[in-house]
Chains A and B, each alone.
Chain A
């Protein structure tokens, strides 16, 4: 058996559609439920700390792009950043939470938008963590010598799922026209965009590349029920045999089973579980907090409550806030694409120096999953 080779991120790219949208203009793009502004929105924004974001919906509700379209642009951007072209690409791993089609998969849809000759593709559908699932596939394909140039992309077009038609006439809206908190919170949290990385078996000679030390994706779905989901009503979401496809689209819509939903109570438990997984990695020596120079976490420090920050500090697991890099407040939370959008801005920020270690952490509340990627600047 041939030895595995090292693999490096040699290009990154971020696609953020349209102009930044401020907190006061959100509902101009995603619409107003029953014609009225949301009461919960302000609170959601205080909690998630997002100031501006991007939408692929204009103020008339018309789409300016597609999920796969943004992903294809991100792949081309990342290839260009690596000084490569479409013809060099051999493997494409595509991630998303909700793709353009129900069928076929996101990978082939992105290839369709990308055009060009035959490619090996793979689709990864989960929530934020799908980004690292795709990255792991790209990394291992290069490591195993299957391909010379691999791309991992991730994209979200969440805003179209937040339009009033997804909620009006369903049990998620009460008699006074107020949308259930489980649904409304996400409307003010998630936005659109795509990102991509290129992985190759050699670093760039002319500038810094990122050697991938490891990618670990840990699912705790055996312990927890769906925490962020679409496809089942709130009350029966844990029953996979009772999902929307059994009742048909019209009845499912009426039952509030089509919209994207979040369980806040469960989220608190899931956050503790993520911290538990992280501390286990620290305990096993897989992650050495003192050796991490930069932390790119798809979660804001302010959202981890004081009690958890204090736990991290007291267990020698904390990474000082000065080492956190995040662009979440001004690009928004773009789900699976966030980590690539963050990495792209970080690489362009000039902060990184040769030899430094970058830890990327991608928690996914969907069904309590968390991913870690350790990079080293070479």
Chain B
């Protein structure tokens, strides 16, 4: 295959487009009222509580849509199915950690578990399960790039800012800080997954498109967080 830029079906081309989508996503996140408060030093404990409530739904559902996606992958792509299932197993209890942080920061389990999804979370959740329900939902690799990128790059940054602004103990920021710690293997593993479904121009387009939609809806979820 021609590996020059703009062929649109090569692993590095897709990675490059995803990197651009992520960079623009970071810019959009930085403009949301909640993250502005965090970076401008006006973040309160109420903001943190609302932040954790806002994140919980997507964290909880992450392993669920990943499992559903795995169940829709055909026998020609067993390796990808295995990777997704392993991912789902690794992550499906993470929301418990987030709940524990909420309690350590002064909230109650009842509050965080009983909270309603915000408008952005509703849209994001519907989108993820819709995509995961399609046969061979390879576009979701784009969604994983966005959501895992958040975990690898943004969570630690946010976690440290939250901790220093609010003077919270380690046990109140474990979800954000813990997620940011193992970023070295991130791109390499992702490259492996892409190579399992590429080259294929239609799949390449779908991965990038799914990343764009997921990034927009994720930012909407953060925009809709109001203490």
Contacts and interface: CB of A to CB of B under 8 A. Distances in A.
Nearest to B184: A307
Contacts of B23: 272-273, 275-277, 279-280
Contacts of B183: 307
Nearest to B18: A315
Given A223-B31, A273-B26, A273-B27, A283 B6 contact: yes
A283 B16 contact: yes
Contacts of B22: 276
Of B4, B15, B19, B191, most A-chain CB atoms within 10 Å: B19
B3 interface: yes
A316 B6 CA distance: 11
A288 interface: yes
Given A276-B22, A283-B6, A285-B5, A315 B15 contact: yes
Nearest to B3: A316
Given A273-B26, A311-B187, A315-B12, A265 B157 contact: yes
B39 A266 contact: yes
Contact of A315 (B19, B27, B30): B19
B20 A280 contact: yes
A282 B5 CA distance: 7
A265 B158 CA distance: 11
Contacts of A275: 19, 23
A276 B24 contact: yes
Interface in A5-55: none
B166 to A, nearest CB: 16
Given A275-B23, A276-B24, A311-B19, A285 B6 contact: yes
Of A269, A272, A285, most B-chain CB atoms within 10 Å: A269
A263 to B, nearest CB: 9
Contacts of A265: 157, 161
A225 B36 CA distance: 9
B39 A317 contact: no
Interface string A227-262: 000000001001000000000000000000000000
Given A223-B27, A316-B13, A310 B20 contact: no
Given A269-B26, A276-B20, A276-B22, A314 B5 contact: no
Nearest to B12: A316
A311 B10 CA distance: 15
A354 B183 CA distance: 43
Nearest to B17: A283
Contact of A222 (B5, B13, B26, B31): B31
A107 B5 CA distance: 41
Contact of A223 (B17, B19, B20, B28): B28
A354 B59 CA distance: 56
B27 A310 contact: no
Interface in A269-300: 269, 272-273, 275-277, 279-280, 282-283, 285, 288-290
Contacts of A272: 23, 26, 153
B6 A269 contact: no
A290 B16 CA distance: 15
Contacts of B157: 265, 268-269
Given A224-B27, A277-B23, A316 B161 contact: no
Nearest to B30: A223
Interface in A194-229: 220, 222-225
A236 B22 CA distance: 28
A283 B28 contact: no
B118 to A, nearest CB: 22
Nearest to B152: A307
Contacts of A268: 157
Given A316-B12, A316-B16, 15 more contacts: A222-B31, A238-B40, A265-B161, A266-B39, A268-B157, A269-B157, A272-B26, A275-B19, A276-B20, A283-B5, A283-B13, A283-B16, A307-B184, A314-B187, A316-B13
Ordered nearest first, which 7 A-B pairs have the shortest CB separation?
A276-B23, A223-B27, A315-B16, A316-B12, A280-B20, A315-B15, A223-B30
